[in-house]
Structure 1
Amino acid sequence: MNRHRRALLQGLTAAAALPFVGFEAAAATNLKISHQFPGGTATEGDFRDRLCRRFATELEKRSGGALGATVYPGSSLMKTNAQFSAMRKGALDMSLVPLSYAGGEVPEVNIGLMPGVVTSYEQGTSWKTAEVGKALSDILADKGVILVSWIWQAGGTASRGKALIEPEDAKGMKVRGGSREMDMVLKQAGAAVLSLPSNEIYAAMQTGALDAAMTSSTSLISFRLEEVAKQLTTGRGKTYWFMFEPLMISRSIFEALPKDQQQLVMTVGAEMEKFALDAAKGDDEAVAKVYEKAGGKANDMSAATVAKWQAIARDTAWKDYAAKNDNCARILKLVEKTL
């Protein structure tokens, strides 16, 4: 890591722990936050949208109006898959997006939806201060993106017909896995895979292009998939599917802010993490009730089932990821220290 990069990251860590000082006199700044999820309010709707709105409110309140943000839900500002690249270029200020969506341009970030590497919220949360989290933060900063809020979500599977629980259930099904690595596991289990953002799952299942889709518990609720899928495999209790979906800011935009505003962004971002954790766990439970109320069936996974999927992942996705480059191999080794 070069000297400038080390200084920046050390500064971010220190800033989050410091008390606020008076804000520098400057014209008011309004950050644009883009995400793909349904819009709501600060108290109602998809928790990822609520988190962004709460974040924006706190920025404005604590800065005395010097720094604020506008939230653009439902990919209304720009298309989902364009967000990460736009942040890198400074064309988008902030986004809350599944990090693995950027795996095509930054292969290291596929660790954010690598099947089997995270099996509990506690383990995922520990990444932020562990070696793996520091390595991932360094890579993203070098690519022009800074992590503001660390958000993990467990995921489940919605199926139109038969439930997708065990690996053998996947044979012959058309499934959306959500990442290249998850797709590799599904293919090994005998499924055909389709790649698309979570906000396009409903239409694909409605037309029969998909038999099943893996996504976060929150998306399973927010996108009303219970209307087109009657079998649910939940992410509560035991699961091998966790998604890293952080709130991020463009590094160039961040570095253009006064130091006190940089401090505020990082501090408020860290404070949002408990809200996200509680909300994600709540949705893991709530999603089962939603599907059962709609006449569907909710299925949970056993530890033995999770171990089966994890074994397939080790032999396919994990090996493929480690072979991508030296950074990927190093990150996977650091992940294994947390298992």
Structure 2
Amino acid sequence: MNFRNPVRRALVAALGALTVLGASSLHAQEIKERNLRFAFSLAKEHPLGVGAQKFADAVAQKSGGKMKVTLFPNAVLGSDPQNLSAVRGGTLDFTSMATGLVASIDKRFMVFDLPFLFNDAKEAYAIADGPVGKGLLDDLSAHGVIGLGIWDLGFRNMTNSKRPITKAEDLQGLKIRVIASPIFIDLFTTLGANPVPMTFGEVYGALESKAIDGQDNPVAVIESAKFAEVQKYLSLTRHVYTGMPFMMSKKTWDSMSDAERNVIRAAAEEAKQEERKVTAAKEGQSVETLKKSMQVNEVSPAEVARLREKVQPVTDKFSKEVGDATFQQVSAELARLRTASK
């Protein structure tokens, strides 16, 4: 073809433009108008709520406004177990909750809940984003769930209305709300407390009525849930790290085109990074805010070491339930990370 001919050049340009338009039109056809629902137990102002909004915004932007995600915070559609059941059944599209609750369908998720396992969030992210986390998320498909990453709730600390927790003995006899996970029940039993399994939406009322003495959660949750109104003492124990798997209904996923799935995956990755960044920034701010209305104490390194030693039987027991392969994989990766950072 003689490209010096202006008519032919125009024809080639026109054909090229039609090809591009055809491809973009095809892409647009692959993305349908969808109204999707994302329910979770925490407040919209919590870092997880901020991450959820980032996800909704990214989905809208990447789909050209065709796919809309509506958020339902504060457990308005049901408790975490109810949301998980709804996602598995296809009546809810997205949810996020603690690994200890996801362990109800795959015990290996309990590996994240082993007490004093991680020294910092960087270690937790390495496990969550590495072969262990990816393998666990991929295997959720057998349970009707698509795993889209593990978000960050943070390290858990203790609040109560009776006394500061400065040593293990201070937990004796306290009625402490725990998530409905065997590892949390055993952990607080071992520490001499009386664990009370309870959904998150019930906690404020139970603290207010003195049905329970205290609870454990990361400081951003304690702040956003307004627990300072009904709790006097906050003790910074950082005893368990809590990851928050972000999950989608496999039924919804299976109904989507590749283009729609690409939108979801890309938006989920952006939201995870944003949520983690907000969580890290919020932790220090929340402690300072809570100091204005609560008595806050650090637990000394020596007492943390005692706590760690006291709960070692819990780690030994549940590492077996998690499975030797998963536990050894996590232990080996943490050892590698710690050696590399020295």
TM-score interval, smaller chain: 0.7 to 0.9
Amino acid across the alignment from 1:121: A
Give secondary structure in 2 for the equivalent of 1:322: helix
Aligned-residue sequence identity (percent) comes to 18
For 2:28 and 2:95, the matched residues in 1 are separated by 24
Amino acid across the alignment from 1:268: A
For 1:127 and 1:50, the matched residues in 2 are separated by 23
Residue 23 of structure 1 contacts residue 261 of structure 1 at CA under 8 Å; is this kept in 2? no
Amino acid across the alignment from 2:37: K
Amino acid across the alignment from 1:180: P
For 2:30 and 2:277, the matched residues in 1 are separated by 37
- Provide the TM-score with structure 1 as the length reference: 0.83
Question: 1:67 aligns to what?
Answer: 67
Residue 166 of structure 2 contacts residue 300 of structure 2 at CA under 8 Å; is this kept in 1? no
Q: How does 1:258-277 map to 2 (within 5 A)?
A: 258-277=257-276
Residue 31 of structure 2 contacts residue 259 of structure 2 at CA under 8 Å; is this kept in 1? no
Residue 156 of structure 1 contacts residue 215 of structure 1 at CA under 8 Å; is this kept in 2? yes
**Equivalent in 327, 334, 337 of residue 329 of structure 2:** 334
Residue 40 of structure 2 contacts residue 72 of structure 2 at CA under 8 Å; is this kept in 1? yes
Rate the CA distance shift 1:38–1:212 in 2: closer, same or farther, 3 A.
Answer: same
For 1:177 and 1:115, the matched residues in 2 are separated by 14
Residue 158 (structure 1) aligned with residue 156 (structure 2): no
Higher Rg of the two aligned structures: 2
- The number of residues matched between the two structures is 307
For 1:193 and 1:25, the matched residues in 2 are separated by 50
Give secondary structure in 1 for the equivalent of 2:299: coil
Rate the CA distance shift 1:25–1:278 in 2: closer, same or farther, 3 A.
Answer: closer
1:30-85 deviation per Cα after TM superposition (whole angstroms, max 9, x unaligned)? 2110111223xxxxx22212221221111111111222211111222233321112
1:101-142 deviation per Cα after TM superposition (whole angstroms, max 9, x unaligned)? 233343222233332222310001101342321331233232
Amino acid across the alignment from 2:92: L
1:239-261 deviation per Cα after TM superposition (whole angstroms, max 9, x unaligned)? 23210112211122112211011
- Gapped runs of 5+ residues in structure 1? 1-20, 40-44
Question: 1:94 aligns to what?
Answer: 94
Residue 24 of structure 1 contacts residue 258 of structure 1 at CA under 8 Å; is this kept in 2? no
Residue 31 of structure 2 contacts residue 260 of structure 2 at CA under 8 Å; is this kept in 1? no
- Provide the TM-score with structure 2 as the length reference: 0.83
Q: How does 1:314-329 map to 2 (within 5 A)?
A: 314-316=312-314, 318-324=315-321, 328-329=323-324
Residue 248 (structure 1) aligned with residue 243 (structure 2): no
CA RMSD between the two structures: 2.1
Rate the CA distance shift 1:276–1:302 in 2: closer, same or farther, 3 A.
Answer: farther
For 1:156 and 1:165, the matched residues in 2 are separated by 12
Question: 2:49 aligns to what?
Answer: 49
**Equivalent in 197, 215, 218 of residue 216 of structure 1:** 218
Rate the CA distance shift 1:123–1:129 in 2: closer, same or farther, 3 A.
Answer: same
Give secondary structure in 2 for the equivalent of 1:240: coil
Question: 1:117 aligns to what?
Answer: 117
Decide which moves more: 108-117 or 266-275.
Answer: 108-117
Amino acid across the alignment from 1:332: F
**Equivalent in 296, 299, 302 of residue 298 of structure 1:** 296
Question: 2:188 aligns to what?
Answer: 186
Deviation at 1:26, TM superposition (A): 4.9
Residue 159 of structure 1 contacts residue 229 of structure 1 at CA under 8 Å; is this kept in 2? yes
Question: 2:38 aligns to what?
Answer: 33
Give secondary structure in 2 for the equivalent of 1:75: coil
1:144-175 deviation per Cα after TM superposition (whole angstroms, max 9, x unaligned)? 22222321212211111212242222111111
- Gapped runs of 5+ residues in structure 2? 1-25, 335-342
Rate the CA distance shift 1:298–1:338 in 2: closer, same or farther, 3 A.
Answer: farther
